[in-house]
């Protein structure tokens, strides 16, 4: 899961290197490459039986597969659109409420008892992230619109992790990623026309589609069989910490002292929560 969050975290710094691609076109190309990578994965692993294998998985997955696919589509689309409307910081602040949404939903849909220590970790980690980025929140209409779009990510994430937790142990929900990528492409392509991305942009978005979405999301779906939904969502906060490091190294964005202090608080909280969970198991 640490590797997954590290791969997820490159989106912000790579997006800032684009030449001409904007908004829905950015989302379209990233989702297109994600779908292509997943299709090639199934074609290589099952060869002539790829389509029949996917049909069998779709039948076995039932409603859970389509719910998860739609939630992936929402997450893919809202995240990239929000990045083109507001700062990376504002998007990440909004995403930091995901563990709280996930834990609340798990409590009511899966009957999970959320340990008091996990609640404390969620609150402290959220406070640390708010401290890191509190000075970056803007009331500008465009910035506010981006933040509202970004809110779709933690909501969809909470529904998705709980769906994977409920059904992902008995059926393979990796094809939901392919559904999510295809739905995201279908939604954003009409809004992205005419396409303006340069070859440089397409190459960068191809890297994001394969290494920032397809591979880590496949790993995350598999991990949902072993880790509790609130635990996965809490660990996913490390994407924010890694995102700061990428921006520092790749975009010369030196973090302010409160960013370093808040990041240290988040890392320490997650480390202690995981150590407590491992000791209990």
- For residue range 236-269, list pLDDT tens digits in order: 778 888 887 887 888 777 777 776 777 778 778 8
Read off the pLDDT of residues 157-210 as tens digits, 9 standing for 90 and up. 888 877 777 765 555 667 888 889 999 999 999 988 888 889 999 999 999 999
- Which has more confidence, 185 or 95? 185
Write out pLDDT tens, residues 3-21.
999 999 898 888 888 888 8
Model pLDDT, residue 186: 92
Rounded to an integer, the average pLDDT of 31-36 is: 93
Tell me the residue range of the domain where 269 lies.
Answer: 2-280
Using an 8 Å Cβ cutoff, are 147 and 90 in contact? yes
pTM assigned to the model: 0.77
Kindly tell me the number of DSSP H helices and DSSP E strands found in the chain: 15, 0
How many structural domains is the chain composed of?
A: 1
Which two three-digit tokens encode residue 234?
């809490």
* pLDDT the model gives residue 57: 63
What are the tens digits of pLDDT across the range 69-83?
899 999 999 988 888
DSSP classification of residue 254: P
Residue-wise pLDDT tens digits, 111-156? 667 777 778 877 887 787 777 666 555 556 777 788 788 889 988 9
Taking alpha carbons only, the member of 214, 215, 235 closest to residue 226 is: 235
Give the per-residue pLDDT at 203: 94
88-95 and 116-133 helices cross at what angle (nearest 10)?
Answer: 170
First to last CA, the chain: 18
């Amino acid at each position: 899961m640490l590797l997954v969050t590290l791969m997820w975290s490159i989106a912000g710094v790579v997006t800032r290197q684009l030449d001409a691609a904007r908004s829905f076109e950015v989302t379209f190309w990233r989702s297109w490459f994600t779908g292509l990578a997943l299709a090639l994965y199934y074609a290589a692993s099952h060869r002539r039986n790829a389509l029949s294998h996917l049909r069998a998985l779709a039948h076995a997955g039932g409603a859970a597969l389509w719910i998860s696919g739609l939630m992936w589509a929402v997450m893919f689309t809202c995240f990239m659109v929000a990045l083109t409307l507001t700062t990376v910081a504002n998007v990440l602040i909004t995403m930091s409420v995901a563990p709280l949404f996930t834990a609340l939903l798990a409590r009511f849909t899966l009957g999970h008892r959320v340990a008091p220590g996990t609640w404390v970790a969620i609150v402290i980690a959220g406070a640390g992230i708010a401290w890191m980025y509190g000075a970056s929140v803007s009331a500008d209409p465009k910035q506010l619109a981006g933040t509202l779009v970004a809110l779709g990510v933690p909501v969809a994430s909470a529904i998705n992790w709980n769906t994977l937790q409920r059904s992902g142990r008995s059926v393979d929900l990796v094809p939901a990623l392919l559904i999510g990528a295809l739905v995201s492409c279908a939604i954003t392509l009409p809004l992205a026309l005419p396409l303006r991305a340069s070859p440089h942009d397409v190459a960068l978005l191809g890297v994001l589609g394969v290494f920032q979405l397809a591979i880590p999301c496949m790993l995350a779906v598999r991990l949902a069989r072993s880790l509790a939904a609130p635990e996965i969502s809490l660990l996913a906060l490390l994407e924010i910490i890694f995102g700061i490091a990428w921006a520092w190294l790749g975009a010369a964005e030196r973090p302010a002292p409160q960013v370093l202090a808040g990041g240290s608080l988040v890392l320490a909280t997650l480390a202690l929560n995981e150590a407590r969970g491992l000791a209990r198991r």
